[in-house]
Amino acid sequence: MKRLLQLLGAPWRKALGQSGVLAYRATPTQFSWVRLGAGKTWPRELLGLGHLERADQDESQWAQQLAGLGLGGEQVIALLEMDDYAVYKLPAPNVPSSELKAAARWQIKELVEGRLDQLTLDVLQAGDDSRSQKEMLVFAARNAAIERVCHTAATAGCMTQVVDVWETAVRNLQTARAAQDDLSGKATAALLVMPDQCLLTISTGDELYYTRRLDADDRLFERATSTAKAAEREEVPLGFEYMPGDELGFTGMETEESGLVLELQRSIDVWERSWPSLPLTRLYVLSADHDEAVARFLQKELGLRTTALMPASLFSGASLGTDSRLLAACLPLLGAALRDDTASP
């Protein structure tokens, strides 16, 4: 993937070399990781993944367990938790790229909570140069969060070189799958489905154009499996045969609309108005469980070609397994590990 987001915490930046890659997440109570082999050929070699929960261990016991993982010696990418940073979409000022961060700092000073010197900012142009009014995505991460995750990795014997965010991690998986489907020149969307919230990204090629965090639908899987069962009764295969308004026999939910579907449709409407020359060709669903059923349901509701992203198709070697808790923890890390720092900003 082309590197679009510059390093957060730039004072200790190091260029990525040709060794394997370790991407990790760290909270006070959990530690998750993904390891990829060296090289840029597809499918990428997955060496392993894992997830630890601290439970009732004290600091010393937890540190000892992390140190025993043997994860040192990798090119190390930390993925911040979504609560540790905020994303702002703002008009891009007409300044040289070298001055963009400074300009962004002035623009968001009234939007952020707390002091600006407690935040690390990074800026990503949203889209290409085809419009007169350009936009940018400003990522504001808490310095304390960056220090915390890097300290945890150091306990595990890893020196962090890059700190990344979920929006670009999901984009990396999305654009890799789009390339696999010969859709690199088209606009595609990806929806990461999580229990508490969902993350939508829209990209073309390797470029992230749009992103939005959405409230989760706590009945999404129920709706999705109802759609799947109805389709099985009608013996209709998964494809682009469903259109909004089709009757597929929901039980007890006929009059209840999904808030997630409504917000997705609003986002799609905004996209179509903003980028009429780039119609969405596909929506990829990324979920640790029921991803195909969710894709079927969203395709019916949105009238947009929707498929499960199936990240396993992008990797060889170790299996992603079937443990939904492990997969939920590591899905965004798979995207973070695909980060490519060899391209120019």
Which tens digit of pLDDT belongs to each residue from 209-259?
999 999 999 999 999 988 666 655 554 455 444 455 444 444 444 447 899
Whether residue 322 has pLDDT greater than 50: yes
Give backbone dihedrals phi and psi of 62, rounded to 5 degrees, phi first.
Answer: -65, -45
Give 124-133's long-range contacts (Cβ < 8 A, gap of 24+).
124/4, 124/5, 124/168, 124/208, 125/92, 126/89, 126/92, 126/208, 126/209, 126/210, 127/207, 127/209, 127/210, 127/275, 128/204, 128/207, 130/277, 133/91
| pLDDT, tens only, 264-300 | 999 999 999 999 999 999 999 999 999 999 999 999 9
For 186-209, the DSSP string reads SEEEEEEE-SSEEEEEEEETTEEE
The pLDDT value recorded for residue 199 is 98
The pLDDT value recorded for residue 259 is 95
Count of helix runs (H) and strand runs (E) in the chain: 8, 14
Q: Where are the alpha helices (DSSP H) in the chain?
A: 59-67, 100-108, 143-155, 166-180, 220-234, 259-274, 291-302, 324-337
| pLDDT, tens only, 198-216 | 999 999 999 999 999 999 9
Confidence of residue 73 (pLDDT cuts 50, 70, 90): confident
Query: With 0-12 CB in 10 A as exposed, 13-18 as middle and 19+ as buried, what is 291?
Result: buried
Q: How far apart are CA 122 and CA 88, in angstroms?
A: 11
Confidence of residue 304 (pLDDT cuts 50, 70, 90): very high
As beta bridge partners, residue 162 has 77
Residues of the chain with pLDDT > 70, as a percent, come to 84
Confidence of residue 195 (pLDDT cuts 50, 70, 90): very high
How many Cβ atoms from other residues are within 10 Å of residue 99's Cβ? Answer: 10
DSSP at 6: P
Per the document, the length of the chain is 345
Say which range, 12-26, 37-51, 63-77, 306-320, has the weakest mean pLDDT. 12-26
The pLDDT value recorded for residue 228 is 63
Average pLDDT, the chain: 86
Q: How far apart are CA 178 and CA 313, in angstroms?
A: 12
Amino acid at 323: D
> What are the extents of the domains in the chain?
212-308
The pLDDT value recorded for residue 98 is 81
Whether residue 112 has pLDDT greater than 90: no
Q: How far is CA 267 from CA 101, 212, 288, 302, 334, in A?
A: 27, 8, 23, 11, 25
Higher pLDDT, 138 or 1: 138
Q: How far apart are CA 338 and CA 129, in angstroms?
A: 25
Q: Are 79 and 329 in contact (CB under 8 A)?
A: no
Helix axes 291-302, 220-234, angle to 10 degrees: 80
> Nearest Cα to 158, choosing from 228, 77, 102, 80?
77
pTM of the model: 0.87
Whether residue 177 has pLDDT greater than 60: yes
The pLDDT value recorded for residue 129 is 67
- 167, 170, 175, 180 alpha-carbon torsion, rounded to 10°: 180
Confidence of residue 25 (pLDDT cuts 50, 70, 90): very high
